[in-house]
Amino acid sequence: MTKSELILALAGRQTHLAQPDVEMAVKSVIDQMADSLASGERIEVRGFGSFSLHFRPPRMGRNPKTGDVVSLSGKHVPHFKPGKELRERVNAAAQPSAKASSKSGAR
C-alpha cells in the first residue's frame, strides 16, 4: 500500500472528512514520525509496533562493478519491530494460504 492508497482508503472510511484533510493528517503523522526518528527518539504505537534506530558499524565493502574495496562509514538505519497484536493479526491472515499451499505441494 502506498501513501496515496492509504489516504484514499482512510478518506473512504471517514466519509465526514474531506480528502485534503485526510491527506494533510497522514502527511503530518509521517513527518512527525520522521522528525522524531531523525532526532534519535523511539516511536511506540501500542498494538502496532515500534520504530527505533539501529547503528550499522563501519565496514569494508566492494564496488560491484569494479570489485574495488571501498570503506563504508557507520550509519543509523530505521528499524521496525511489530507489536504482538499486529504479529498475531498478520499470522492469522496468513495461515489459510499457508495451509492451502502446503496441501497442494504434498502428493
pLDDT at 98: 53
- Report CA dihedral (42, 45, 46, 50) to the nearest 10 degrees: -50
Amino acid, single-letter form, for residue 8: L
Which distant-in-sequence residues (6+ apart) come within 8 Å of 60 by Cβ? 69, 70, 71, 72
* Rounded Cα distance, 56 and 68, in Å: 21
Which regions of the chain are under pLDDT 50?
Answer: 107
Q: Show the domains of the chain with their CATH numbers.
A: 1-41 (4.10.520.10), 44-107 (4.10.520.10)
Q: Residue 94's pLDDT is what? A: 83
